[in-house]
Copies of this chain bind each other. A is one copy, B any other.
Amino acid sequence: MDAEIKGAQRAVEAHLDHVLAPFGTSDVAEAMRHATRGGKRLRACLVLQSAKLHGVSEAQAIWPATAIEAMHAYSLVHDDLPCMDDDDARRGQPTVHVKWDEMTAVLTGDALQALAFQLAAHPEAGSAEVRADLALSLARAAGAQGMVLGQALDMAAERPGAALDLEQISALQAGKTGALFEWSAGSGARMAGADPGPMIRYAAAMGQAFQIHDDVIDVTGDAASAGKAVGKDAAAGKATFVSLLGLDGARARAEALVDEADAALSPYGEGADPLRRIARFAISRDN
Which residues from chain A sit less than 8 Å from chain B, CB to CB?
22-23, 26-29, 32, 74, 78, 81, 83-84, 101-104, 106-107, 109-111, 113-118, 120-123, 127-129, 131-133, 135-136, 138-140, 142-146, 148-149, 151-152, 155
Contact = CB atoms under 8 A, between A and B. Distances in A.
A106 B84 CA distance: 9
Given A22-B145, A26-B149, A106 B122 contact: no
Contact of A103 (B83, B104, B135): B83
A51 B146 CA distance: 31
A118 B152 CA distance: 19
A248 B22 CA distance: 38
Contact of A114 (B81, B123, B144): B144
Given A23-B144, A131-B132, 8 more contacts: A26-B144, A27-B152, A83-B101, A106-B106, A113-B114, A114-B142, A114-B148, A120-B135
Number of copies: 2
Contacts of A152: 26-28, 104, 107
A144 B111 contact: yes
5 contacts: A78-B106, A103-B155, A114-B139, A116-B139, A127-B128
Give 3 closest A-B pairs by Cβ, nearest first.
A114-B143, A83-B102, A118-B139
A145 to B, nearest CB: 6
A249 to B, nearest CB: 30
A28 to B, nearest CB: 5
A62 to B, nearest CB: 16
A211 to B, nearest CB: 19
A132 B143 contact: no
Contact of A110 (B22, B111, B127, B148): B148
A170 B26 CA distance: 18
A109 B120 CA distance: 20
Contacts of A26: 144, 149, 152
A121 to B, nearest CB: 4
A192 to B, nearest CB: 16
A140 B118 contact: yes
Contacts of A136: 117-118, 121-123, 131, 135
A102 B109 CA distance: 15
Nearest to A153: B26
A36 to B, nearest CB: 12
